[in-house]
Amino acid sequence: MKRFVATARGRVQRVSYREHVYNEAFERDISGYVKNLKNGEVEIVAEGSEKDLQGFINAIDIIQRPIVVKSFTIRWEEATGEYADFEIIRGDIQEETFERMDYAGNVLHSMDMKFDRMLDKQDQTLQISRASLEVGKEILQISKETLEVSKETLQVGKENLQVGKETLQVSKETKEEVVGLRSDTKKHLDDEFAEIRKELVSIKDALARAGIQV
């Protein structure tokens, strides 16, 4: 068993530091006490195993808002076994009341600061949400304009397809007319050649009757 006498200096009174020390001792097999001193410091006397005492020191030599331990001096001694448990040695009622009021004020101030930071974060989130909404509106507008362009392009495509169909129809009609013209021309030429052939045969026959051989 070991024993130490420690003095904590800094912001250690009226910030519920003694309650913190008591709770940490309660979690371990440690006996002794913690009390406020008139000079604003806090005295801790603790007895227990060396392992428990080292863990206890690490847990109470802290900076943990609103507690700020600026220095923590320790004097090691032999354990006496005079303490049955760990306790908080209180001062007079006026001192304890003022300490409770100061601690409550610190807690309220801390809560107010946290609330202000929370409001700031909410404002930032709202600004980001508004900016995202504006971007979304712009994207929607661009999408609408793109859709209109696509519709116009589709309409032009349909018109071009219609022109293509009409051009194909004209080509078909032109081809049919050309084919018909060729057929008519061939028939006409065949008829002309047939007439010429008949006339030549008639001339040849006439010459033969006149005694002229050709």
CATH number at 72 reads 3.30.70.100
Question: Is 79 within the bounds of a domain?
Answer: yes
Ranges of the chain with pLDDT below 70: 94-96, 98-116, 119, 163-164, 170-171, 178-179, 181, 213-214
How many domains are contained in the chain?
1
Question: Is 34 within the bounds of a domain?
Answer: yes
Concatenated DSSP letters of 173-203: HHHHHHHHHHHHHHHHHHHHHHHHHHHHHHH
In sequence order, the 6+-apart residues with CB closer than 8 A to the CB of 24 are: 56, 59, 60
Predicted pLDDT at 115: 61
Question: Is 14 within the bounds of a domain?
Answer: yes
Predicted pLDDT at 86: 97
Predicted pLDDT at 160: 72
Please identify every residue annotated as catalytic: 18, 36
What residue has token string 């304890």?
96
CB 48 within 8 A of CB 31: yes
Question: Is 15 within the bounds of a domain?
Answer: yes
CB 40 within 8 A of CB 75: no
Domain that holds residue 76: 2-90
Q: What residues pair up with 10 in beta bridges, in sequence order? A: 69
Helices (H) and strands (E) in the chain, counts: 3, 6
pTM of the model: 0.50
**Beta strands 63-64 and 67-78, pairing class:** antiparallel
Question: Is 38 within the bounds of a domain?
Answer: yes
CB-neighbour burial class of residue 95 (10 A; exposed 0-12, middle 13-18, buried 19+): middle
Question: Is 176 within the bounds of a domain?
Answer: no
| 48-57 residue pLDDT tens | 999 999 999 9
Predicted pLDDT at 116: 65
